[in-house]
Copies of this chain bind each other. A is one copy, B any other.
Amino acid sequence: MPAPSLQHEIGKRRPFEHPEEEALLNLVRTGAALQADFARLLKSHGLSDASYNVLRILRGHAAIIRRRAAGRGKTGAGDNGAAHEAARPRGAVPSQTIGQEMVAHVPDVTRLVDRLEARALVRRVRTEDDRRVVLVSITRAGLDLLARLDKPITDLHRRQLAHMTRGELATLGRLLTKARHPPSAPIPP
């Protein structure tokens, strides 16, 4: 069965006037469809897209600390080397950093962290240095949840595009990156 045309798919009665419009709609729809499956998987574990993103960021920073410590040898330098998650969490990042690294700009990290903290997936700690900032770090429970999600997510991703060849994926990636980065400045507000 050949793939149905986009025009037919959305019940459009007139063909597209410009190839840019068709490609754009195609791109947005495809992205949304693929992400919908992803979001459904997350929701089955009680996570939204944004909250999952926060957890991933926090795990990433925790991993940095862990790698650095490992590189310096078993005995941690400077921060000392408590074996398990200490009261002073390693890999804690200010809320602001979370907001910057998120895929979708979320103007209210506080509420997001609130909900995660209520479920004990993250932890909040105030620093002595700068009492304005609140450091957020992922807890053991949060790491466990992510670990449980890793395999299903990888499987889903690979399954979603399993029917594409390596060459197609490479071409697609190249074109997407180019599409996202116009030579001129991004669209003005």
Q: Which residues from B are CB-within-8-Å of A183?
A: 163
Given A23-B172, A173-B19, check contact A178 B159 (CB 8 Å). Answer: no
- Total A residues in contact with B, Cβ cutoff 8 Å: 67
Which residue in B24, B57, B186 is a CB contact (below 8 Å) of A161?
B24
Q: Cβ of A104 and Cβ of B32 under 8 Å apart?
A: yes
Determine, out of A33-41, A69-77, A78-86, A108-116, the stretch whose residues face the partner at the interface. A33-41
Q: Which of A16-54 contact B (CB under 8 A)?
A: 17-35, 37-38, 40
Q: Which residues from B are CB-within-8-Å of A57?
A: 11
Q: Cβ of A173 and Cβ of B22 under 8 Å apart?
A: yes
Which residue in B20, B103, B162 is a CB contact (below 8 Å) of A160?
B20
Q: Cβ of B175 and Cβ of A168 under 8 Å apart?
A: yes
Q: Cβ of B178 and Cβ of A37 under 8 Å apart?
A: no
Copies of this chain in the oligomer? 2
Given A64-B13, A168-B178, check contact A157 B27 (CB 8 Å). Answer: no
Chain B residue at minimal CB-CB distance from A153? B21
Interface status of A158 (Cβ within 8 A of chain B)? yes
Q: Which residues from B are CB-within-8-Å of A25?
A: 157
Q: Cβ of A10 and Cβ of B101 under 8 Å apart?
A: yes
CB distance from A160 to the nearest CB of B (A): 6
Q: Cβ of B24 and Cβ of A160 under 8 Å apart?
A: yes
How far is A163 from B31 in the complex, measured between Cα atoms in Å? 20
Q: Cβ of B35 and Cβ of A28 under 8 Å apart?
A: yes
Q: Cβ of A171 and Cβ of B180 under 8 Å apart?
A: no
How far is A176 from B38 in the complex, measured between Cα atoms in Å? 17
